[in-house]
Structure 1
Amino acid sequence: MVSAGARSKNLKLGELLVTYQLITRKQLEEARRLQDQSGERLGSVLVGLDYISVDALLDSLGKQYGRPTVDLFKTDIAPKFLDLIPLEKMKKYRAIPYAISGQRISLAMVEPNDLAAAKELQFILGMAMELHVAPAFQIMAALALREKMQGGPTRAITGQQILQVCTGKVRAANLEAPDIEELFSLLLQEDASDLLLVAGAPPSIKKNNEIRRLSSSFLTPQQVKVYAQKLMSEGQLKRFIQEKELDYALTIPELGRFRINVYRQRNSLSIAVRPIIDEIPSPEKLRLPPWLADIAMKSQGLILLTGPTGHGKTTTLAAMVDIINSRCKKNIITIEDPIEYLHRHKSSNVNQREVGVDTDSFQVGLRHVLREAPDVIVIGEMRDPQSFAIALQAADTGHLVLSCLHANNAILAISRIIDVFPPEQQRQIRVQMADNFLLVLNQRLVARKDGKGRVLAYEKLTNSYRVRNLIREGKEHQIRSLMQQSMEDFESIDLSLARLCIEGTITTEAAMYYCQDEVFFNDLLRKGRGLLQQNTALR
């Protein structure tokens, strides 16, 4: 007959807790889902969710491992014990000595039944050990406190200190999630580009292309679901259930307009929020090159703005539309998903159509756009062969077409459009591209050296006789090497980055992160700084 203790040793922690009716099956499933998101140990997640107490977790761990337990929240660790084992070994085996009884050292471990770890630790200590099991979050908190002492005198670690470290991490998860409007307000106060709400992590903001987690509990799948339901109308919720993702604009009184993207991941929801600035920034404020306005005033052709998400393509597109709106008498039709910047009618008429509200899709909207008497067609993002084909057709029939496209550089943008079509159509598309594109502007927003936001670096490819021939002949991959030194029809992003470095606007390290050709970039930097020193000496 198998004893209850033997059965406990054979059960995993979650099943053991359900067997002893300490948690429900539903609570276990939610904790496991959150564990997948956060990477925490299951016991840490359960305590964080306030489904079990530390005492209940210790009791269950003792049954699971068949070992004595220790609550480090109630244990003070003297300095003499903290120096017995090198810190890197304690971190490797998640073990920490905390007491001595007779000729035996008491050792708290996350995995006390790891025989290889126990053997090496005993060799280091040179004496007998008594292995106790402790919760992972307590061990990791104690080791974090020990690591802070590196380079200084070893001091005692108290149970109260371990508890304080855990309060902002595991144990904080039973606190209420911040109010959604508070998070939106914080997003604006911090002048951040995005708010990210993901199960298994605290609410986060993205500023200068870096994630910063807020001082809050990690979010549960249910909390993110509640946020999403608050941010969606009934109709939007139905669309989300059907499509499993939704992109739309939301106006919150007294706060402003936001672009919201709700999507599913790992069987839970995630939300990305981006503030929409009501005022369209001027080209001067965006540090756009002066020649861009001249290209925006062209009567026909294709202008592509490319680069990664979050690097200002939509803002540049809005600034170019505003230039046309202010200086020309045109009929402008936009198709956007969602509408971000609202354009007032100035010298031109601006008709803004939102996917899901004013038209069913980009494809449907573009299919009818040529019947709407457009002079200028603005496509928020080209995503499929149909969008590319209609854009090229419109440019070929005397319209100015502006659009955004995800591509790492200007030349890859050309290749991507051509490659999206079947081989039998690519010859025709090459001819249309060569004849009709005006500009590909690839941009990056790079962190400023002074820490005051980001600055634009760009790569431009304009349609010249040389560029046109290379595209027609299928040799667009040669454009960079053949024209790297030219600034007439092609200007590499490396040149823009080098210029910003020489001005002192950005650091060399920040520039290197985005440069395309390190050798070329370093050569530009060397030459530019040499010329700068000569000019300074002449003064």
Structure 2
Amino acid sequence: MSYEMNDLLELMVDQGASDLHIQVNQPPTLRIDGGMTPVDGPKLSPQDTEDLMKAITSATNQERLKTTGGADFGFAYLDLARFRVSVLRAKGNYGMVLRQIPKDLFTLADIGLPERIKELISRPRGLILVTGPTGSGKSTTLASMINWINEHMDGHIITIEDPIEYFHDHKKSIVTQREVGNDVGSFSEAIRGALRQDPDVILVGEMRDLETIEAAVGAAETGHLVFATLHTTGAARTVDRIVDAFPAHMKDQIRTQLASSIVAVISQVLCKKIGGGRVASFEIMVTTTSIAQLIRENKTYRIASDIQTGATHGMISLDAHLMSLFNRGLISPEEALSKSQNAADMRKNLIENGAKFAR
């Protein structure tokens, strides 16, 4: 028996799988609700994985795979779904991981973001960072924010992605989507180009190097609303990560720039829902005069306490949001504890709220 790529893609859609893993010596494996489920069938041979890879990988990306050992791209399967694909070589064989991109854009309420987020993403300028580990739903959150702006405000939105995941139609705004590697050479080059293209909003898919961070912060400072992602958890760590990317003699300058340009940091994790599916939990930091001062003075370790007392500004800590998901019966106490930032306090709060832990 050999596997057909189309059958596997349809199975992903039918089962609501977030990812498909193609590896030698393992049947094709779906990630469903965070858990791994192998397809009922034989293990893949090196020839199988090569055939499946070639079924969806362009000649250009196959060449990139040969020369660099990996390639990333997005593609659509009929009208059913879009996928983000990472092809790779491992132990001399081909492998792939496909991430299913939801066909429909979610509303901000669908994702679970509070109503006050709309005020933040309506700002005329500044930097909004969406952070979290790989696979935590950052792209989905950003796509929903961009879609809300597109539906409610007129202007020019430029997205810079690697690869393009969600497609945005022109609605109230004009949307220009550029793919790094196809439409433009690099993120930093695309940001610099965007400043000459009359943008109101710029989405930077990933701030992965110093040049991109500098360009993104510069764009936010010069009167544009810039969205960007980082693989960090928590507002304080996010600010530290950005500052740490700069050489010592520039750290004070970037702290001053961040203090005046960051509008908010939205940090998220995905939790397993009771009864199946997943739900996002958020930490939301909104920059106040006090937080701006902490960033300038290199006292980011004190940001967490400002978030805990900043509810009137629309802030919430990750642990408080996890607690609210538990109290609404959406996640188990074990899940809340595993995703928390302060496990000891979280355990105490859960028990006080009636949690019974499985032994």
TM bucket normalised to smaller:
over 0.9
Is residue 2:214 matched to residue 1:393?
A: no
CA contact 2:291–2:306 (8 Å) conserved in 1: no
After TM superposition, give the deviation of residue 342 of structure 1 in Å. Answer: 0.8
CA distance in 2, matches of 1:483, 1:397: 27
Displacement after TM superposition at 1:529 (Å): 5.9
Q: Partner amino acid for 1:359?
A: V
How far off its partner does 1:450 sit? 2.1
Equivalent position of 1:240 in the other structure: 65
Measure, in 1, the Cα distance between the counterparts of 2:2 and 2:206. Answer: 34
Residue among 138, 145, 164 paired with 1:320: 145
Residue 227 of structure 1 deviates from its aligned partner by 1.2
TM normalised by structure 1 equals: 0.63
Mapping for residues 131-150 of structure 1, pairs under 5 Å: none
Any gaps of 5 or more consecutive residues in structure 1? 1-175, 531-539
| Secondary structure, aligned partner of 1:259 | strand
CA contact (8 A) 2:333 2:350 kept: no
Q: Does 2:289 align with 1:465?
A: yes
Counterpart selection for 1:351 from 164, 176, 184: 176
Whether contact under 8 Å (2:3, 2:48) holds in the other structure is no
1:528–1:434 CA distance, 2 compared to 1 (3 A): farther
Q: Is the 8 A contact 2:235 2:303 kept in 1?
A: no
Q: Where do 1:338-417 residues align within 5 Å? A: 338-417=163-242
Residues 373 and 251 (structure 1), Cα distance of their counterparts in 2 relative to 1, 3 Å cut? same
Q: Which moved more, 1:323-332 or 1:273-282?
A: 273-282
For residue 518 of structure 1, report the CA deviation from its aligned partner.
Answer: 1.7
**Post-superposition CA distance 1:221-244 (Å, at most 9, x none):** 222122111111222222222332
Match of 1:161 in 2: none
Partner of 1:202: 27
Alignment of 1:496-515 (within 5 A): 496-515=321-340
**Higher RCO, Cα 8 Å, sep 6+:** 2
Matching residue of 1:101: none
Contact conserved, 2:216 with 2:226, CA < 8 A, in 1?
Answer: yes
| Pairwise CA distance, 1:527 | 5.6
The RMSD of aligned alpha carbons is 1.7
Question: Following the alignment from structure 1 to structure 2, what is the Cα–Cα distance between the partners of residues 521 and 484?
Answer: 14
From the superposition, tell whether residues 233 and 202 of structure 1 become closer, same or farther in structure 2 (CA, over 3 Å).
same
Contact 1:246-1:261 at 8 Å conserved across structures = yes
Q: Distance in 1 between matches of 2:286 and 2:37?
A: 38
Q: 1:480 to 1:403 in 2, by over 3 A?
A: same
Q: Is the 8 A contact 2:157 2:200 kept in 1?
A: yes
The one-letter amino acid paired with 1:473 is E
1:387-443 residue CA offsets vs partner (Å, 9 max, x unmatched): 110110011111000011111222211110110111111111100111110111111
> Does the 8 A contact of 1:495 with 1:524 survive in 2?
no
Contact 1:303 / 1:439 at 8 angstroms: preserved in 2?
Answer: yes
User: Relative to 1, partners in 2 of residues 1:459 and 1:241: Cα closer, same or farther, differing over 3 Å?
Assistant: same
Q: How far off its partner does 1:254 sit?
A: 4.7
Corresponding residue number in structure 2 for 1:96: none
Q: By percentage of residues, which structure has more strand?
A: 2
User: C-alpha distance in 2, partners of 1:527/1:491?
Assistant: 20
Query: Separation in 2 of the partners of 1:528 and 1:468?
Result: 35
C-alpha separation between the residues in 1 aligned to 2:54 and 2:72?
Answer: 14
Which piece of structure 1 moves more, 363-372 or 510-519?
363-372
Partner of 2:159: 334
SS in 2 for 1:491: coil
Matched, 1:484 2:323: no
In proportion to residue count, which structure has more helix? 1
- 1:23-82 Cα distance to aligned partner (Å, 9 max, x none): xxxxxxxxxxxxxxxxxxxxxxxxxxxxxxxxxxxxxxxxxxxxxxxxxxxxxxxxxxxx
Q: Show structure 1 runs of 4+ deviating over 6 A.
A: none
Which entry has the higher C-alpha Rg, 1 or 2?
A: 1
The aligned counterpart of 1:440 is 265
After superposition, give the CA deviation of every residue in 1:288-314 in whole Å (9 maximum; x if it has no partner): 211111111110000011111111110
**What does residue 303 of structure 1 align with?**
128
Shift of 1:379: 0.7
1:517 counterpart = 2:342: yes
Q: 1:228 to 1:208 in 2, by over 3 A?
A: same
**Structure 1 residues 479-511: Cα deviation after superposition (integer angstroms, max 9, x where no partner):** 224653442454211000111111111110111
Question: Which residue matches 2:15?
Answer: 190
**TM-score (structure 2 length as normaliser):** 0.94
Q: Is the 8 A contact 1:303 1:401 kept in 2?
A: yes
Q: Is the Cα contact below 8 Å between 1:177 and 1:216 reproduced in 2? A: no
1:196-215 C-alpha deviation (Å, 9 max, x unpaired): 10112211111122212121
Deviation of residue 459 (structure 1)? Answer: 0.6
Q: CA deviation at 1:179?
A: 1.1
AA aligned opposite 1:307: G
Go from structure 1 to structure 2 and tell me whether the alpha carbon gap of 1:293 and 1:209 turns closer, same or farther (over 3 Å shift): same
SS of the aligned residue for 2:128 comes to strand
The corresponding residue for 2:117 is 292
Unaligned runs of 5+ in 2: none
Q: For 1:500 and 1:486, how far apart are their aligned partners in 2? A: 19
- Post-superposition Cα deviations, 1:119-159, rounded to whole Å, max 9, x if no partner, equal xxxxxxxxxxxxxxxxxxxxxxxxxxxxxxxxxxxxxxxxx
Q: Percent identity?
A: 35
Maintained 8 Å contact 1:202/1:215? yes
